Chains A and B, each alone.
Chain A
């Protein structure tokens, strides 16, 4: 079993009108079966309202399934006495950096999680220093979070999770409110954590360029997993992605357009280097 596994996971919520009468039922997550491998960099794509955030909240036991089961590191999220262990194993970072920072000082913010799980004082200081270094924010430890940029705030939020020594970090659109340079900062910190500390990363996003270096990609729509595979496999399906309100990186789209115009390029080109190489090969073949 992987680090996170779901079986027939379904989540419904009941919509009510102003008098409290039931108006209807919305299925946010619809019979999802996934098995995520430890140590991987996993991306979940989907448009606004596709159910990807609700799915993510199940992995941290913030919501409980209507039907089906979620196991985090072998623990069933429906068992109440496991909740703290689950949350420590699978930490969660949210979209709005301002609404997840609790303390008035960076170092206290990072220490908040370890305090909650009863880590001794000396060890808290050690963990705070280590995790701030891991995200490159150590020199800001005495600063007020209000004075940081969006990217820096998200890095502090990530450090706050890292200090709890999780096996897995789930990030719910962590870059949606950041500018391009902030986005880059956050994504490169995540790859570093994945490679150096072997932390499993589950990144929920709708920025296509953040997905290119993932090990595995899931695409959601209407609460269901619609596509699953490596980035190359996923981005080979330009038409299907567009139907799901998504996009592909510009280079992939250019290659796709050229192919449509009769240039025999391979599917799923992800980087400009690949593109140049493929085009060179083509010219050489034709020249022979």
Chain B
């Protein structure tokens, strides 16, 4: 299951999308999500599908890789489809014992499945094409306006990037501690759920202690290197918009306008 989650992973390759400024990609994801929830008609969804297909093609990330991310949320998708299918009022098509399926329900269920799928695909596409550091830089810059209302944007971004750096170290550490406890006869594979959860204590306690020790030492190392928040801090790799970024913003604006226009033109029609 854990291995199926593609959100947060980075797919290394060269493409126009990879080279875009992270702020553009964040904005693009936002626009895409808006357009997704705007749609109430088949035509709108066709347009969204076309847009997504073009972006995926441009990103050079294999479709297989993006679709793999859906497996992790399959249950969620099935549940929401079922809810919509059975619990929407309207023109009854089929009646099964106490449950009824309506025409509206079918449309709703289909749209909900598409929405959820595209939502996951769209947002994982962003992380697949942006390095973690680049992404945090982009977030820090895009959310900079929140500083006005005293949100510690820089600190949050710094925390995110440190967390990303320590994930592989902590995974390795977990493996080491598990092996060490196995050498002392611990058994993680047999027994019922309660027994197995209990068996994890000798792993989790040392892991937490080590994580705190690491955090403490890291904080000291950062302080020793004059880290004192964002004040007076310069950037080694400041974000700068290039020609492609401006074009991308243009495309996004055009896409959003077109979708809004299409929505008004279609009115409430589904087909």
A, B: real partners: yes
**Residue from A100, A115, A161 in contact with B235 in the complex, judged by beta carbons closer than 8 Å:** A115
A124 and B236 contacting across the interface, CB-CB below 8 Å: yes
A115 and B236 contacting across the interface, CB-CB below 8 Å: yes
**Residue from A102, A119, A124, A146 in contact with B168 in the complex, judged by beta carbons closer than 8 Å:** A146
Q: Which of A5-13, A90-98, A248-256 contacts B (4 or more CB under 8 A)?
A: A90-98
Q: Which chain A positions have C-beta within 8 A of B164?
A: 104
B225 and A160 contacting across the interface, CB-CB below 8 Å: yes
Q: Which of A21-29, A106-114, A201-209 contacts B (4 or more CB under 8 A)?
A: A106-114
**Residue from A96, A108, A116, A119 in contact with B225 in the complex, judged by beta carbons closer than 8 Å:** A116
Given known A108-B133, A112-B225, contact A94–B217 (CB-CB < 8 A)? yes
B198 at the interface (CB under 8 A from A): no
Residue of B nearest to A100 (CB): B221
Interface residues of B: mostly helix, strand, loop or mixed?
helix
A115 and B233 contacting across the interface, CB-CB below 8 Å: yes
Q: Which chain A positions have C-beta within 8 A of B133?
A: 103-105, 108
B237 and A62 contacting across the interface, CB-CB below 8 Å: no
Q: Tell me which residues from 110 to 141 in chain A have a Cβ below 8 Å from any Cβ of chain B.
A: 111-121, 124-125, 128
B222 at the interface (CB under 8 A from A): yes
**New A-B pairs, 12, CB < 8 Å, besides A99-B214, A100-B221, A121-B234:** A62-B224, A84-B226, A87-B224, A94-B217, A99-B218, A101-B165, A104-B131, A108-B236, A108-B237, A125-B236, A146-B168, A164-B226
B226 and A99 contacting across the interface, CB-CB below 8 Å: no
Q: Tell me which residues from 59 to 98 in chain A have a Cβ below 8 Å from any Cβ of chain B.
A: 60, 62, 84, 87-88, 91-92, 94, 96, 98
Instruction: Tell me the minimal C-beta distance from B155 to chain A in angstroms.
Output: 14
B234 and A146 contacting across the interface, CB-CB below 8 Å: no
B62 at the interface (CB under 8 A from A): no
Instruction: Tell me the minimal C-beta distance from A225 to chain B in angstroms.
Output: 23
The docked-state distance in angstroms from the alpha carbon of A118 to that of B228 is 11
Q: Which chain A positions have C-beta within 8 A of B233?
A: 115-116, 118
Q: Which chain B positions have C-beta within 8 A of A161?
A: 225
Q: Which chain B positions have C-beta within 8 A of A112?
A: 225, 227
Q: Tell me which residues from 213 to 259 in chain B have a Cβ below 8 Å from any Cβ of chain A.
A: 213-214, 217-218, 220-228, 232-238
Given known A100-B221, A103-B161, A104-B161, contact A87–B236 (CB-CB < 8 A)? no
The docked-state distance in angstroms from the alpha carbon of A156 to that of B220 is 17
B221 and A124 contacting across the interface, CB-CB below 8 Å: no
B162 at the interface (CB under 8 A from A): yes
Kindly supply a per-residue 1/0 record for chain B positions 44-87, scoring 1 wherever the CB is within 8 Å of any chain A CB and 0 otherwise: 00000000000000000000000000000000000000000000
The docked-state distance in angstroms from the alpha carbon of A254 to that of B137 is 59
The docked-state distance in angstroms from the alpha carbon of A85 to that of B214 is 26
The 7 A-B pairs at the shortest CB distance, nearest first, are namely A100-B221, A111-B236, A99-B217, A92-B224, A116-B226, A113-B225, A124-B236
B8 at the interface (CB under 8 A from A): no
Q: Tell me which residues from 154 to 170 in chain A have a Cβ below 8 Å from any Cβ of chain B.
A: 160-161, 164
B169 at the interface (CB under 8 A from A): yes
**Residue from A99, A105, A111 in contact with B221 in the complex, judged by beta carbons closer than 8 Å:** A99
Residue of B nearest to A157 (CB): B221
Residue of A nearest to B172 (CB): A146
The docked-state distance in angstroms from the alpha carbon of A115 to that of B237 is 10
Could you list 14 A-B pairs, sorted by A, with CB under 8 Å?
A87-B226, A88-B226, A91-B225, A101-B165, A107-B236, A112-B227, A116-B225, A116-B227, A117-B226, A121-B236, A121-B238, A124-B234, A124-B236, A164-B225
Q: Which chain A positions have C-beta within 8 A of B220?
A: 62, 94
The docked-state distance in angstroms from the alpha carbon of A108 to that of B237 is 9
B236 and A102 contacting across the interface, CB-CB below 8 Å: no
Q: Which chain B positions have C-beta within 8 A of A99?
A: 213-214, 217-218, 221
B165 and A103 contacting across the interface, CB-CB below 8 Å: yes
Q: Which chain B positions have C-beta within 8 A of A103?
A: 133, 161, 165
Given known A62-B223, A104-B165, A105-B133, contact A116–B228 (CB-CB < 8 A)? yes
B132 at the interface (CB under 8 A from A): yes
